[in-house]
Structure formats: structure tokens, C-alpha cells
Amino acid sequence: MILQWGGLQPLLDIVNNTENKAIIKHGTWAISNLCRGKPLPDLEKVEIATPTMAAVIKRESDMDVITDAAWALSYLSRVESKLDAVVESKVVPALVHHLE
């Protein structure tokens, strides 16, 4: 219902515009869950989360937050045509850094 009523964009705006670590953590977790869902959501409804999740991975240091954002990106790239958006977000170097 959240996706159907356009609730993802306000959540993305909150995560993008706060420095409150608790809000970022819980918001990223919620976004990740909206991207996976059962049944799987339409990618067209969740692909707008790609830039925000990439930005979270690049700027945050909390590994729980980074893990949730990485899971979101994995759900968002489950179709090869959507993988390009993840790569174009230039998040891959940050992901590799965190893997080290």
C-alpha cells in the first residue's frame, strides 16, 4: 500500500535530507524492505530508490545501514536492464571498499 500511494518518495526525501543517524538507519531499512517485499514490487515503483541507496553507501559508516542499502540495490538490480542504473550511480567503488 505504501508503494501504491506514493509513500516511497517522501521516505527517500527524509533519508536524503537528514543527518540524524537513527532516521537514516531506520529509513534505509524500510526502503530496503519496500524494494524486496512479497510479492516482489514492480521495479517501476521502487527504482527511484537507487540514487538514495547509492548515496547512503557512499557517505555512511554504520555497517548495518550500508548492509541494508546494499541489499536494496541488489533487489533493485534483479533485472539486468536495471543493473545499469546501479553501475551508473558510481557506487561500485564504495561497495568494493566496504568489502575490504
CB 7 within 8 A of CB 49: no
Q: In the CATH scheme, what is the code of domain 8-99?
A: 1.25.10.10
For the chain, the structural domain boundaries read 8-99
Q: Cα(24)–Cα(38) distance, rounded to whole angstroms? A: 23
Nearest by Cα to 59 from 96, 29, 16, 22: 16
One DSSP character per residue, 15-69 reads HHT---HHHHHHHHHHHHHHHH-SSPPPHHHHGGGHHHHHHHHHH---HHHHHHH
The more confidently predicted of residues 3 and 29 is 29
Identify the pLDDT of residue 34: 94
The pLDDT tens digits of the residues spanning 45-93 come to 999 999 999 999 999 999 999 999 999 999 988 877 677 777 788 888 8
